[in-house]
Amino acid sequence: MIKKQLFLACLSLLLLRATAQDVALTMKEAENFEKQLKEDAALEKYKTLALADSTYFPAVAKAAELNCSLGARLKDVKARQPYYEQALKFATQAYQAKPGEAQASYVLSLASSKMAELDLENKRTVQFIRQTKEYADKALAINPNHGRANYMAGKWNLDMINTSWLKKVAAKTIYGGGIQPATMDSAIAYMEKCRVAEPYYVQNYMDLAKAYKQDNKPAKAIEVLNRLLKLPVRTPDDAALKAEGKVMLDGML
């Protein structure tokens, strides 16, 4: 009887080790696909792990981020919705798994911002706009130097300043809940903090340059764009963003 129990214990240990090795291998494969700019393949790997264990934070957080990235590249807004809904599902799981992690709040802010872009009923749009700011703030309360969370807070301010009249009506509800009204100064300040924390994040440079230009600070916008053009391409979006930045810079010189 004792021998049988020892055998079963050893077998369980071996199975656990094998499972851990499989997870580590799949994560490594996903990370390698990302480095090769093959985000579709990377997402499938992360989803495999996330669907097997919804509490496995590294995979569910990455699945949320990549669903946002892939969905945003689609021209048809309706085609983006399944990606954004999956992103929200995975981001919610990430937050439930690690509510004390800044990255968990960040991905929920990111997914909420994407959901706010969809053609939803006004009440749901308001909810997602609020969540974008609330979870960016939660991430920054945990880690004030979280680069992407600073970007989300800055982008939220910029988007609210430039939003459609319909969402401005909805904004009365948003601001009524204790959230400070958006300002260009806040947008710039948060994105400048992101620039320090994540100096290679091309999207932040692009939006920061737009904010400076809109704020009638062309010299600052040109300085940011010149830095943007020198950044390496690290994601499938970076080349297009750099091309957009070049066009913007040429138009300002």
| Contact indicator for 63, 50 with CB cutoff of 8 Å | yes
Whether pLDDT at 171 is above 90: no
CA 252 to chain centre: 29
**Cβ distance 184 to 207 under 8 Å?**
no
Report whether 207 contacts 192 (CB < 8 A): no
The encoded tokens of residue 132 equal 């974008």
Say whether pTM exceeds 0.85.
Answer: yes
Average pLDDT of the residues of the chain: 91
| CB neighbour burial string for 83-121, b if at least 16 within 10 angstroms, e if fewer | bbbbbbbbbbbbbebbeebbbbbbbbbbbbbbbbbbeee
Residue 42, pLDDT > 60, answer yes
Angle between helices 202-214 and 218-229 (to 10 degrees): 160
Residue 166 pLDDT class (50, 70, 90 cuts): confident
Query: Which residue in the block uniquely carries the two structure tokens 């982008």?
Result: 155
- Determine the average pLDDT of the residues in 43-53: 93
**Residue 2 CB: number of other CB atoms within 10 A?**
6
Within 53-101, residue ranges assigned H as helices are 57-72, 77-97
Q: What is the pLDDT of residue 13?
A: 42
- At a CB cut-off of 8 Å and minimum separation 6, what does 123 contact? none
